[in-house]
Chain A
Amino acid sequence: MRIYLIGFIILALLGSAGYVIKLQRDNTILKENAVKLEGAISEQKQVIENQKKDFAEILEANKKINELVNNLKKDLDDLDKRFSKKDRDIGKLAIDRTKVIERIINKGSDNATRCIEIASGSPLTEKEKNATKKSEINPECPSIANPSYVSY
């Protein structure tokens, strides 16, 4: 009877020791898991930050494109106005002052040609970049040819 009791106590002690060891192991794993979760949370925060940055970039790009579209529309409207300003009839003007209008049209054509080159990606010259006066700009497309020019 006594031997059984001792055996039982030993077994119980061994069982308890095993259980404590298991708890310690679980605790270590839980700590590791917590560190991993913290890492994952910090990575998620970084992802959210990056997404915010992306949204800001998208908004900025949209804004720039909208500005460009509006500026180009203005250039087009200005061209329209130049043809019809004060009931101007370019045909009649060409009959009355043929040479002058021919010179103006050729100058305008050269400017418009340059505008197409710029629109296709041709880099701006220093003169174009620095133009601020009306007499210095390319009147066909100041919005893309003369970034320093402010309409007045």
Chain B
Amino acid sequence: MLILLTFLTNCSGVKKLSIFKEEVKRQELNLEKPTPLQLEQIKWIIITSENADEVFKKMEEQGLDPVLFGLTDNDYQLIAKNFAQIRNQLKITNDLLDKYKEYYEPTPK
């Protein structure tokens, strides 16, 4: 009886605890940032009923086609605001990209 008891108690022991931890780091995306824009300068010409002849004459003298693509003063304001909005959106998107990169792919200090 005692022998049996001894054998039984020897069989049930404390189990070794194993903790597995394996961290596989995700590959960094490392996409190149788009090249900053380098825009061409454009020249605005204001044409009124009074200076129209003078403007066209000047254009011909400069070898330019005497034609203008016009905007009213109101539409000029709208195009200026539209471009400002596009610029803002571009800046926000660019900064968001930077923040994501900083957060997920921080450069080691």
Binding site for B on A (CB under 8 A): 8, 11-12, 14-15, 18-19, 22, 25-26, 29-30, 32-33, 36-37, 39-40, 43, 54, 57-58, 61, 64-65, 68-69, 72-73, 75-76, 79-80, 83, 89-91, 94-95, 98, 101-102, 105-106, 108-110, 112-113, 115-123, 140-141, 144
Contacts and interface: CB of A to CB of B under 8 A. Distances in A.
Given A18-B10, A90-B73, A120-B37, A36 B88 contact: no
A116 B19 contact: no
A54 B106 CA distance: 12
Given A65-B99, A90-B73, A119-B88, A29 B37 contact: no
A37 B17 contact: yes
Contacts, number: 141
Given A65-B96, A98-B51, A108-B80, 13 more contacts: A12-B2, A15-B5, A18-B6, A26-B14, A58-B103, A65-B92, A75-B88, A94-B48, A106-B44, A112-B87, A119-B88, A119-B90, A121-B35
Interface of B: 2-3, 5-6, 9-10, 13-17, 19, 21, 33-39, 41-46, 48, 50-51, 72-74, 76-77, 80-81, 83-88, 90-92, 94-96, 99, 102-103
